[in-house]
Structure 1
């Protein structure tokens, strides 16, 4: 029980940290890529960044998935590499085995990507979010969150003045309490 309280306290401090970043989209995920927390700036970008969504399931099993789209494919590969990196760093536990098994059984693309391990580091890179304000080009960075749980912080920084302006328009158009109406993330080439 005490260990769980320590995890909760650490995650609460991280949530406070995330919430303090108003203009920069930030997401906290656990080691199986379940979204634990996303600040309003992140939640406006895509429905993938809502608490409880698993990023790997979203990338490979979403009904909105664009099969064959090279941008979506790269985003999916990056997500698989993030999951693989997490599993390699923390050993396969029951939740990790369950998500890997589910995705392998339901998605041929995931099974092939997982088996290939083609070398994407998954720790940083460009990504494009189609939003109601227009395409928002970002650079993501993956940071290890403090603590032994294997949590990850995904931090997104706008790439260029037009993306900063679109992100600001998104922020002004949708209040933090409203649900996001944006599309799925698509990495840039």
Structure 2
């Protein structure tokens, strides 16, 4: 993705959401060709020339100073996440248009995921691919998919694809609209961190073509950090649950995050989550038993 185009689109989206009154200007009426602040109004309030700001929004003025970016963030009333995203987009980065190797989970991280046991735990990669999950996370999020799908790079479930392209997700998330918004907002942050990444270009292009909901949300440029959230689930096996999800960056794995779901102690959601974990274990045992006759037949054939 062209980094400067992304910067211009982000600035334009934030201008569009502000009225003159919101920043202390007097609106004397009259028709406005576009909603929100005009370029000249934003430039005046931020203390830069209209020409400079126009070049910045059009991608023709690289290396904007920290002071200019902070002034624009102040006028545009950006929150901390949006401010960091603005700086990330404006910072010149070397163009590295190459496909990265398939992501892998370190053995110690895999052991940690397995150790959570009854709590759903998974590792999400840079592009939102599910790199591994334990039995409970699989049962919670996508038990209609093969449990070993994350082990195969070509078959890995992707969080954004599940949310926008899989009917199961629309039924699973009680507030699918909020979940879809947060998914796009998180992906926007990733695009800001890794410009010109072909895997991200492919993912965004695919979702834009296949989902009108995604395309509409992507166009308004939402940005939000999703390290912690509490959502209502409507699970087909155990019913309604309210779960809190913590996303923790893995410091030695660029872009990978550990995701763990918990329920309030003593709540009906905790009981439902325990039931789901038991069902996941039982189903896994059933799959192992089903494979044993085939293994025995192979052993007899070898003999």
Structure 1 length normalisation: TM-score? Answer: 0.79
Equivalent in the alignment of 1:177: 284
Equivalent in the alignment of 2:298: none
Q: 1:147 aligns with which of 252, 256, 263?
A: 252
- Unpaired runs of 5+ residues, structure 2, are 1-100, 151-155, 287-303
Partner Cα distance (1:92, 1:58) in 2: 24
Q: Considering only CA atoms, is the larger Rg found in Structure 1 or Structure 2?
A: 2
- TM-superposition CA deviations, 1:2-60 (whole Å, max 9, x none): xx7xx74x622211111111122111011111110011121111217852111101111
What RMSD, in angstroms, separates the aligned Cα atoms of the two structures? Answer: 2.6
Structure with the higher fraction of residues in strand conformation? 1
Equivalent in the alignment of 2:129: 34
| Structure showing greater relative contact order (alpha-carbon pairs closer than 8 Å, 6 or more residues apart) | 1
Structure with the higher fraction of residues in helix conformation? 2
CA 1:79–1:159: 2 relative to 1, 3 Å = farther
Is the contact between residue 144 and residue 152 of structure 1 (CA under 8 Å) also seen in structure 2? yes
- TM-superposition CA deviations, 1:78-107 (whole Å, max 9, x none): 111222222222334111111011111211
CA 1:169–1:65: 2 relative to 1, 3 Å = closer
Give the paired residue count: 172
Is the contact between residue 27 and residue 42 of structure 1 (CA under 8 Å) also seen in structure 2? yes
Structure 2 length normalisation: TM-score? Answer: 0.51
Is the contact between residue 174 and residue 233 of structure 2 (CA under 8 Å) also seen in structure 1? no
Equivalent in the alignment of 1:165: 271
SS at match of 2:278: helix
Partner Cα distance (1:65, 1:16) in 2: 27
- Unpaired runs of 5+ residues, structure 1, are 180-189
